[in-house]
Amino acid sequence: MLSTKYNDQIINTNHWDRLQQPVHGASQQADTLRLLAALDEGWQIQEAARYLAHGSNAEGSGYLLTLYNPKRRLTREWNAARSEDLDAILAFEGVPGYNG
């Protein structure tokens, strides 16, 4: 874990890696569960950009999500595979850049 030291106190700066990881075997994709966990912890979806993967590892379309946590003043970019559940979350949250 990355840390920063200020005035003899260690402050963890990599809070993103401490998100609760999704339970395997659930009916939803891991990306959807991880996003729901982030929203529960106060992260907000600021923007969604859709992309289509190319090449030998192409897994179809997905999103590049920009997430922001106002309490921690942190911004993260995160790739997520497109799914109906993820589309429903983006529509419900009224995310800029998501157009269904």
The C-alpha atoms of residue 96 and residue 10 are separated, in whole angstroms, by 36
Band (1; pLDDT cuts 50, 70, 90) = very low
Q: What is the pLDDT of residue 9?
A: 52
- Of the two residues 4 and 20, the one the predictor is more confident about is 20
Band (4; pLDDT cuts 50, 70, 90) = very low
- Helices within 1-100 (DSSP H only): 30-40, 84-93
Q: Which of 58, 55, 49 is nearest to 95 (CA)?
A: 49
User: Structure pTM?
Assistant: 0.69
Tell me what the mean pLDDT of segment 44-72 comes to: 86
- Of the two residues 56 and 99, the one the predictor is more confident about is 99
